[in-house]
Amino acid sequence: MSTPSTKTAEALSGVLSPSCRKTAAHALTIVRDGVITGEGPTTKGRIHFSRSLDADDAAWCARILTAAAVEHQPVSRAEIEALFAINEAAAERSDDGRFDDLLAKAIAHHAASESGLPVPPRTVALSPDTEIDRWAPTQGTKIDTKVLEWIAGQMRGKRRSGRALAAMVATLVGAAALPLATQLPNVFDIGMR
């Protein structure tokens, strides 16, 4: 994984080092703005095209989501919403799938914690070296239906849905698919867009 240069990271440490989940969500919106415009604090010192997401952008997201202040807290809904906004903003990708992996794991972390299930620290759960099936729920019946509905609502109508995300959602929906089938008719086509 590419990481922002030390010099750039130090200069932005106050802006993009969250002190809580709320400031982490805000920091992710700064990354989103950089993805949209190709300008801003997360793109300083490098060439960045608008509407593109590169390895440095994915590294910023990972750095924000795994900051010491939030490491032992579950990923929040606001953070997931910011990640979905970044996902939608990026028409071009050059991050070797790191952002999709991060998004899928962050959603699973949020869904599991909101359903009352234990989750590992973010540095473990969101690591590119940790397979999602090592810690995420493997049965949709363990996930709260309202959480599944919210995730499906976030994904419905979006133009981007990575394979990692579609696979994770399919796993979460799994056994819970039958009761949800009448409530969420579009949940099954999320990976086909």
Q: What is the band of 151 on the pLDDT scale with cuts at 50, 70, 90?
A: confident
Q: Compare 106 and 10 and report the one with higher pLDDT.
A: 106
Q: What is the band of 105 on the pLDDT scale with cuts at 50, 70, 90?
A: very high
Report the sign of the C-alpha dihedral through residues 3, 6, 11, 16, in that order: positive
Q: Collect all residues with Cβ–Cβ distance below 8 Å to 71 and sequence separation of at least 6.
A: 121, 122, 123
Q: How many CB atoms lie within 10 A of CB 26?
A: 17
Q: Collect all residues with Cβ–Cβ distance below 8 Å to 111 and sequence separation of at least 6.
A: 137, 143, 144, 147, 148, 151, 172
Cα 52 to the center of its chain, rounded Å: 16
Predicted confidence (pLDDT) per residue in 119-140, tens digit: 999 999 999 999 988 888 776 6
Tokens of 58: 């994915």
Q: What is the band of 76 on the pLDDT scale with cuts at 50, 70, 90?
A: very high
- What is the three-class DSSP state of 52? strand
Q: What mean pLDDT value characterizes the chain? A: 81
Query: What is the average per-residue pLDDT within 57-68?
Result: 97
Q: What share of the chain is helix, strand, coil (3-state, %, to 5)?
A: 60, 5, 35
